[in-house]
Structure 1
């Protein structure tokens, strides 16, 4: 089966509110085309395994959920619009990341079962909701030694080149809460202005250094930014409460000391979301995947870093050495005209097959 045809079948299945149909499609296809042990678990994850698992394990990893489609990406009957034109497949989830899932399915199906080790295919649910499927699988005991995660890595070092991401940033979203005492605005000294306290906290955030680290010789720099502020109840009332939202892009092993805002009277700080960053700790594995990527294309792939969090962060957090290799290009995912190159899908299939073959050798 050609990767473009499998991609189109998978993209056509709605999976932004309920990914169960897409998961069942993946699971059924794997049962029909492989002798692997295939599970479609209660969380919506699809996990297939080849080999006895007495040695090391390698996984090809993706996700089959998508973000809500644009209205132009949905037919009247609720199915997704899928079009192939000018060498690209258009449709919600084509780039992020059903195309790479299809390439990984085909590579997994083509691979021989390891004699001692374990080859795994995993497509998780709920990646777009903070990695809930991957996290649930980990809680249930999912562990692999190495993983190739099929999120986008094409076009980072040069247009059209599929690179190998050896690290990516995480995201910590948090809220600064400033509390004061309400009073009539004609007598401001009778109260404690929560907005003033919040702006003092914002000044603390502005003065923080961005976290940074190095991964396999590559510099990875984070960021911290106040992105929302909300406070006050009326034009003539000294506000008693004000909140500010902070977006922090984290790097492995480092966090900005945002708790310093709590040194200000009346100010507290809470973490609302913490998606972990990823760093590959095995240079030989990263080099081997980069060699496979070089063999699969005319361009010269490089080891790069990604700005976006993926399920690789959750896997890395429990000891998996991950790299990210996938067809999506910067700016393609989550757009009203999302698409993926058929040529790059074929390339990713070759890369995945080569990685598996060299790992099994």
Structure 2
């Protein structure tokens, strides 16, 4: 046995085979999940320089039902993994959600994320303001109620951008969709009724979604959403802006699908408005819970801060662009 490895002082059970290991006859390793484990010398995984291991055999299962620290779904007894936290004692995870690094633990603090939120998402023919048309929309509320619209984009030479994932064709929307003006007015009424309560409206990538919606309302001679609410389009909660601000240096993509996966939020059909709206609302709540400085903001401060955070992000992104690309625009 290498001199750098410690032996067990007391009789214990081997983490690999489960059989008894006599005192001073086993190998004692530090699990990366925060506790020591004992092995028969022939069963011990290779240890790192600090005498630790991340081998799956070193996991400790939960002895009672507890909510998973990532997805908040209850983990049945014996089916989860226990991890020792530096500050909060033992925590339980689903095995598939156990990873390093991981999102911060969800906190019990109160805030806007626990209020009656509503989420909006739209499906469009492309990503150009004032040019592309809305062909679908969905609204999802915190109480589980939802509405969705398939929208006829109207006449004109329209083409669906190939990168759109929602699966709606222009032909299908024209044949089966609700007339544009009628659908847009219904959407605006639902959203204005919520915004008047001064509870946040969740919109992933809000600058694009809300600008497109306003442009379409005005194009059809309807009252803009911002003119239907005394205080305008506020408060808005954009989980994309929140995530960029709260965790700016995390590697990986920032698409809705990638961010929901990071926070352990189920998202079955990315690109579909109904599922995107539901996932966006859940994501806003989780981010508010994981980051107390964000979750404890007042609703008005949440809106104001996001305006500043998004402007700062846009400035930084522009500064990172190659000089020759900036000169060409």
Q: TM-score per shorter chain, which class? A: under 0.3
Max Rg structure? 2
TM-score, with length taken from structure 2: 0.26
TM-score (norm 1): 0.24
Q: Which has the higher contact order (CA 8 A, sep 6+)?
A: 1
